[in-house]
């Protein structure tokens, strides 16, 4: 269902050059997807290069793992992409990390420049369940820190259910530990429960 306010926000995000204007070497072109009727919102860190090229969140290998996880919770990828909302803390590809491994983590200044967009997305879509993916998004949505302390739990914040997940990219070493992988399984069980309870 089209929504004029969300369409306007999307147009603003696509046209945004705030980070470039502030001197950050991002690749402009905000990446996000989903309708105003979405009841679940996935919030990642920032799009990668292939996401930026094709304009689709979690398009490549990190998407494969994320949708394997969401599949365990009972969601079909195509249906999820069509009906739920996917976005990020910063919405443009930040470029590769200087060390060559993985993508550059957006600076606090870039995060602050982009923050009003996420606030507006949340206000317009009003998701019942938010899935922050990766440490940056978890910190923003939960205000708390370490993945090891929060993954596996479900938290009620501002009337929404927050279910944190680690970042599914291969650059994340957090998933190497069996204890952490067990926490992810707990988180997926929480999501499956919420999906059934609220018919999401």
Residues in contact with ligand SF4 by CB under 6 A are 13, 16-19, 26, 28, 30, 90-92, 110, 113-114, 117
Shortest Å distance, C-beta 135 to ligand SF4: 18
Shortest Å distance, C-beta 113 to ligand SF4: 4
Percentage helix, strand, coil for the chain under 3-state DSSP, each rounded to 5 = 45, 15, 40
Strand partners, 160: 157
Nearer to ligand SF4, 19 or 41 (CB): 19
Q: Which of 10, 41, 199 is nearest to 126 (CA)?
A: 41
Shortest Å distance, C-beta 26 to ligand SF4: 6
Nearer to ligand SF4, 52 or 190 (CB): 52
H helix or E strand, kind and range, residue 31: none
Nearer to ligand SF4, 65 or 91 (CB): 91
Q: Where are the alpha helices (DSSP H) in 46-158?
A: 49-54, 61-72, 77-83, 108-125, 135-142, 147-150
Shortest Å distance, C-beta 76 to ligand SF4: 29
């Amino acid at each position: 269902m089209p929504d004029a306010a969300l369409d306007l926000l999307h147009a603003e995000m696509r046209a945004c050059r705030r980070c470039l204007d502030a001197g950050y070497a991002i690749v402009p072109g905000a990446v996000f997807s989903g309708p105003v009727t979405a009841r679940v919102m996935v919030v990642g860190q920032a799009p990668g290069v292939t996401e930026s090229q094709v304009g689709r969140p979690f398009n490549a290998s990190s998407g494969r793992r994320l949708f394997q996880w969401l599949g365990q919770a009972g969601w079909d990828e195509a249906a999820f992409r069509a009906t739920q909302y996917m976005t990020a803390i910063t919405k443009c590809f930040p470029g590769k990390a200087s060390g060559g491994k993985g993508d550059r983590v957006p600076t606090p200044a870039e995060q602050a420049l982009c923050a009003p967009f996420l606030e507006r997305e949340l206000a317009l879509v009003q998701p019942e369940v938010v899935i922050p993916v990766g440490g940056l998004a978890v910190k923003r949505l939960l205000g708390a820190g370490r993945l090891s302390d929060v993954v596996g739990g479900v938290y009620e914040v501002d009337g929404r259910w927050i279910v944190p997940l680690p970042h599914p990219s291969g650059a994340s070493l957090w998933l190497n530990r069996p204890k952490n992988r067990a926490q992810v399984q707990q988180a997926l069980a929480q999501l499956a429960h919420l999906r059934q309870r609220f018919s999401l």
